[in-house]
A and B are shown apart, each in its own frame.
Chain A
């Protein structure tokens, strides 16, 4: 599938014409306590040493926690901005999109604040396209109402793959991606697995044959005691 570009941009490829313009994408995590959306964004970031601008509002920081540096597979410089109001988050995102040095601009907003309307998202999208910097807007506990985001995702965790070393332990992360609205690609649903050591996303093709399908490793119940 050419349109869903899961490949990473290689180093030095930044100024070349990419098949998909970098633009504003919205992500709606399926539940509040699900970090799959964050994992997906980080998995999509290219492998460079350029910094990431990460803006969070107070509620999303309190309810969903903050980024844990030790849990990142690849260490990269992060400029963290912690703000109290969603309006300020939008201002900081917009300001960050003027800086072409950044590898990505990531914002997290809780709920449906009045400031985050169609105009605000349109401004972000136009700025992101002008600067050619991807902008990811994570909207915790929000309803997917009117928005100018070019791609809108709904992302959640699904039971992980079987762990080769320990049958009772979770394996590699698996996420369900639902691109429910997109201007650049055909919407669709996928299940991907994230290979943490290789920092790579693999799409899992659903097979008709149940016995051959990739198992998620949750066959046996946990033996208690």
Chain B
């Protein structure tokens, strides 16, 4: 299925590629590419040789699957039982709902129209069983409709590929001369059973045949749409400030969530303006919650970001990231549980200052000091602990090392005196050097090594000083000195 909105012109051969064992292979191709003999499964380099002007895009298979899952729910407009079938199909159990759309033929036309309005091409068929519908939709005539007694007659001329078999079995049947489903039907049942007794479903023509003819049950297990939690408040006349309505909305939403024993991770507050526009505010939580007071507090300074325009008359509050949440009472006294308390704090800080401001530093495996520390979200599960560098490290690290002016450079060891921030520091004692070489797999070529010294000046301040480079390393001029941190 291709989106019509951004599809290229029909006269350009276009393929979608996915990573194979030996370079990219073709995942899907458009009509003109198929006409040139470019079929899914072949390698992109081979097909470039056939057609030099071939356009290659990478396929987003997970995205396609998610989109198809959404489409499956969208298709509930026609019938209540729908399910995704593989990566490129949908099964709708239309029993008892076709007459609502004016019969099966009219229903198929309606479906094709609606799908094409979404920008999707479709091949539709109606059949009594999953298997026969699969075959007719892919290999049968356009919008074919098959009654229960017509299955042998309609499936007979179709190729055996319509039986949902895997490649090896198809090749085997090809070699046996069984090219159509009709030819396979004529083979005595006993011989087929004997030949394929141990084969799995995907490589067993007899079982597939039975499924297509309805002798083997294949029910449609419909998935349930996730419930949506939305509350709204309709106003008699337009207003400019949603604040007075927020506590009631939060309360209603939390009632609904508690009733379903669910918690939410995000909230979307939307106001529908009288001039036909909408404005919204989103907040997020670090742990799922169903506490109305907490949810309301997250909107404290955010409501001002709503642009009311000429006023709005409808406010909706929707819960996102809904997940099951079981409230467990840990003790009999009214104390708040420890973890909950902390997650509420992180929520409040994140809601006010943004996700960038609140973080949790973690150790990373690197000897370069500025890379030895990473930042993760405050309440995310910490990465596996990294062994800290056993060397003596300062307690404070400057974000940008500050260059110092060296008064008496000494070939070995740190300078006897240096000027940092207009103050002269006389080095009384020092430890080092600790040499930290650049990480060649990350740093640019020409990065100089560093020799770190822990120095103590005349007033007792302990400073982490480093010399960048050596005198004759051929990577720039004289080495420079920097202050990188302070020891306690």
Knowing A33-B461, A65-B485, A81-B353, the reply to whether A71 touches B395 (Cβ < 8 A) is yes
* B136 beta carbon closer than 8 Å to chain A: no
Question: What's the least CB distance linking A69 to chain B, in Å?
Answer: 5
Chain A residues in 8 Å Cβ range of B357: 81-83
- In the complex the two chains form, is A68's CB within 8 Å of B338's CB? no
Interface 1/0 per residue, A151-168 and B, CB below 8 Å:
000001111100100101
* B199 beta carbon closer than 8 Å to chain A: no
Question: What's the least CB distance linking B485 to chain A, in Å?
Answer: 6
Question: What's the least CB distance linking A145 to chain B, in Å?
Answer: 24
Q: Which of B352-371 contact A (CB under 8 A)?
A: 352-353, 357-363, 369
- In the complex the two chains form, is B461's CB within 8 Å of A173's CB? no
Question: What's the least CB distance linking B457 to chain A, in Å?
Answer: 9
Report the number of A-B residue pairs with Cβ-Cβ less than 8 Å. Answer: 183
* B77 beta carbon closer than 8 Å to chain A: no
- In the complex the two chains form, is A69's CB within 8 Å of B349's CB? no
- In the complex the two chains form, is B345's CB within 8 Å of A65's CB? no
- In the complex the two chains form, is B361's CB within 8 Å of A78's CB? yes
* A102 beta carbon closer than 8 Å to chain B: yes
* A142 beta carbon closer than 8 Å to chain B: no
* B6 beta carbon closer than 8 Å to chain A: no
How many residues of chain A are within 8 Å of chain B by beta carbon?
62
* A119 beta carbon closer than 8 Å to chain B: no
Chain B residues in 8 Å Cβ range of A88: 352-353
**Could you list which residues of chain A lie within 8 angstroms of chain B, going by C-beta atoms?**
31-36, 38-40, 42, 51, 53, 61-62, 64-72, 75, 77-83, 88, 91-92, 95-96, 98-102, 156-160, 163, 166, 168-170, 173-175, 194, 216-218, 221-222, 224-225
Q: In the bound complex, how far is the Cα of B410 from the Cα of A69, in angstroms?
A: 31
Q: In the bound complex, how far is the Cα of B486 from the Cα of A160, in angstroms?
A: 14
Q: In the bound complex, how far is the Cα of B410 from the Cα of A206, in angstroms?
A: 37
Q: List 22 A-B contacts (CB under 8 A).
A: A33-B420, A34-B461, A35-B395, A35-B488, A38-B488, A42-B395, A51-B342, A69-B373, A70-B373, A71-B392, A79-B360, A81-B357, A82-B357, A99-B345, A101-B338, A158-B459, A158-B460, A160-B456, A168-B429, A168-B431, A170-B429, A225-B410
Question: What's the least CB distance linking B407 to chain A, in Å?
Answer: 12
* B394 beta carbon closer than 8 Å to chain A: yes
* B198 beta carbon closer than 8 Å to chain A: no
Question: What's the least CB distance linking A41 to chain B, in Å?
Answer: 10
Selected from A38, A101, A158, the residue in CB contact (under 8 A) with B342 is A101
Q: Which of B305-357 contact A (CB under 8 A)?
A: 336, 338-339, 341-342, 344-346, 348-349, 352-353, 357
Pick the 10 closest A-B CB pairs, nearest first: A39-B488, A169-B431, A35-B486, A71-B393, A68-B397, A65-B396, A70-B393, A159-B460, A157-B460, A65-B398
Selected from B344, B359, B416, the residue in CB contact (under 8 A) with A222 is B416
Chain A residues in 8 Å Cβ range of B456: 159-160, 170
* B175 beta carbon closer than 8 Å to chain A: no
Q: In the bound complex, how far is the Cα of B345 from the Cα of A96, in angstroms?
A: 7
Chain B residues in 8 Å Cβ range of A194: 488
Chain B residues in 8 Å Cβ range of A160: 429, 456, 460, 462
- In the complex the two chains form, is A65's CB within 8 Å of B416's CB? no
Chain A residues in 8 Å Cβ range of B372: 69-70
Knowing A75-B388, A170-B429, the reply to whether A68 touches B373 (Cβ < 8 A) is yes
Q: In the bound complex, how far is the Cα of B345 from the Cα of A95, in angstroms?
A: 7
* B47 beta carbon closer than 8 Å to chain A: no
Nearest chain-A residue to B338 (Cβ)?
Answer: A101
* B212 beta carbon closer than 8 Å to chain A: no
- A35-B487, A159-B460 given; name 19 further pairs at CB < 8 Å: A35-B395, A64-B396, A65-B396, A66-B396, A66-B397, A68-B373, A68-B395, A70-B388, A79-B358, A80-B359, A82-B357, A96-B345, A102-B345, A159-B428, A160-B460, A169-B429, A175-B488, A222-B427, A224-B413
Chain B residues in 8 Å Cβ range of A31: 459, 461
* B378 beta carbon closer than 8 Å to chain A: yes
Nearest chain-B residue to A41 (Cβ)?
Answer: B488
Knowing A77-B382, A99-B342, A224-B410, the reply to whether A173 touches B393 (Cβ < 8 A) is no
- In the complex the two chains form, is B463's CB within 8 Å of A173's CB? no
